[in-house]
Amino acid sequence: MKFSIQREDILKPLQAISNVVERRQTLPVLSNVLLNIDNSQLHLSGTDLEVELKVTIGIDSPDNGDITLPARKFLDICKALPDSAMIEIAIDNEKARLRSGKSRFTLSTLPASEFPNMESVEGLVEFSIPQFQLKELIDKTQFSMAQQDVRYYLNGLMLELNSDCLRSVATDGHRLALCELPCHIEIEESRQIIIPRKGVAELSRLLNDSDDDAQVRIGKNQIRVVVPDFTFTSKLVDGRFPDYKRVVPQNCDKFATVEREVIRQSLTRASILSNEKYRGIRLELKSGLVTVHANNPELEEAEEEFEVEYDGPSLEIGFNVNYVLDALNALTDNTVVLHFTDSNSSCLITGNVEGNNCQYVVMPMRL
């Protein structure tokens, strides 16, 4: 098996594959990338048994065949070669010989027969959605996923499929992010799936801001996303996501409208002197004005004031400032609305544009 390829043609796909491949593996072949040539198409595959990525590149080669190479070493070699370098790869006697200009490399290989192939996804549900919309759904909610929580179903992103919309929800038990988009899905009743944390991160990285459709196929235990550049497959988390609708405040009677950039900058400055561990800040709302207070164990203090549209009763409430800033950074509206009930109830943060499709819930902190 022998072929040549331009460095730039293989570098980006190899980088994407290497993100999926785990460096420390009990199975040596899982540290490798599978190369398969078939009818002048080079197919690259990488997996950690939970997530799989396949990328296809057109090449000029009369040969067909397959082999696996060490993914990280192969990538590092390609990165170290000069721009526009031509790479020649020949497989001979269980060794891969790479040539480019005056550079020579010999890599060990493992047979393609040892490389695991994730089972095909029998599409119980299939639909199409523009790449940029799917990426937006993920990016506007994934930051609220839990990290290494014993409630394993929180360590991922929940997608809810409805006949008229697609909804993404993530929560770590202290805050919740929810975003939805109109989408026609041929489905008789709503269905929820949970994509694991690594799968969410890789899918966000792979999707771009184009209008090209992503074909989404959801099976019993897997999700597969197919676009012109790649095929991504991830196992699903086997668990039941909590009832997020009970978490979203429904009866807020106090509303503060403020320019998003004003409150974001004020909270960022005040957070410098907040407790490094708990990141607590206190908001004091009065008619037309918000005062932000922060302090830390070194007895240092910060205070910020900014104007808001608010004519309700005085209210004091504490938050983890990082949770509020994450929500503000995810919103794109020029103005945002903070919905309050009282000092002991969660705050709902939304955009101020009619039809805004994202909601963020932050639980209060005792300070």
Tens of pLDDT, residues 147-178? 999 999 999 999 999 999 999 999 999 999 99
CATH architecture of 125-245: Roll (3.10)
- Strands 191-196, 213-218: pairing is unpaired
Q: What confidence category does residue 120 fall into, taking pLDDT thresholds of 50, 70 and 90?
A: confident
Unique residue bearing structure tokens 């080669």? 61
Return the amino acid letter for 221. N
Distances (CA, A) of 356 to 92, 154, 311: 58, 25, 23
Q: Is CATH 3.10.150.10 the right assignment for the domain spanning 2-114?
A: yes
Indicate the CATH number for domain 248-362.
3.10.150.10
* Tokens coding 33: 């990338």
Biggest CA–CA distance in the chain, Å, is: 80
CATH 3.10.150.10 intervals, the chain: 2-114, 125-245, 248-362
Bridge partner list, 58? 41
Tell me if 367 sits within 8 A of 318, measured CB to CB: yes
Q: What confidence category does residue 23 fall into, taking pLDDT thresholds of 50, 70 and 90?
A: confident
| pTM as predicted | 0.92
What whole-number distance in Å separates Cα of residue 127 and Cα of residue 76? 37
What whole-number distance in Å separates Cα of residue 5 and Cα of residue 8? 9
User: pLDDT tens across 48-99, in order?
Assistant: 999 999 999 999 888 899 999 999 999 999 999 999 999 999 998 889 999 9
The chain-wide mean pLDDT, for the chain, equals 94
